[in-house]
């Protein structure tokens, strides 16, 4: 019986400690931040290149290449660090992609959720 009580007390303390850390980190973490270097100056960003074709638009910042279908705006491809397409490339272009959106307005605490998918 003493062993069970000790287990319950330690479990309760572990949960309380975890909740304490979670609440503290959530209160101090901003939603958006700007990467900065050691001198607290904003880091330079790569210029974004926009390439347009008849049925595609490509955005390239040197790290990620995003290809969108035009005029629908569906995601046709995402290239990242040498991976040709992080989306499933076995599917035809209009059927690729699943995009999940979570956002919130600065003045509101609740988040709005939605998703866009091609079925």
Question: What is the pTM for the complete model shown?
Answer: 0.42
**How many beta carbons lie within 10 A of that of residue 118, not counting itself?**
15
Q: Each residue of 32-55: pLDDT tens digit?
A: 556 565 666 665 666 889 999 999
**Nearest-angstrom CA–CA distance, 74 and 88:** 14
Instruction: Express each pLDDT in 84-110 by its tens digit.
Output: 777 665 656 655 555 555 555 666 665
**CA 41 to CA 25: how far, in whole Å?**
24
- Residue 119: predicted pLDDT: 41
pLDDT higher at 105 or 71: 71
For the chain, the residue count is 119
Residues near 87 by Cβ (< 8 Å), separated by ≥ 6?
A: 75, 77, 78, 96, 97
């Amino acid at each position: 019986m003493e062993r069970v009580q000790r287990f319950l007390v330690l479990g309760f303390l572990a949960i309380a400690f975890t909740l304490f850390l979670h609440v503290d980190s959530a209160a101090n973490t901003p939603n958006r931040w700007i990467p900065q270097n050691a001198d607290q100056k904003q880091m330079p960003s790569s210029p974004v290149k926009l390439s347009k074709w008849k049925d595609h638009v490509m955005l390239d910042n040197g790290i990620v290449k995003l290809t969108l279908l035009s005029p629908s705006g569906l995601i046709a491809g995402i290239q990242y660090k040498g991976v040709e397409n992080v989306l499933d490339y076995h599917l035809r272009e209009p059927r690729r992609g699943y995009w999940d959106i979570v956002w919130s307005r600065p003045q509101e605490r609740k988040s709005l959720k939605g998703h866009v998918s091609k079925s």
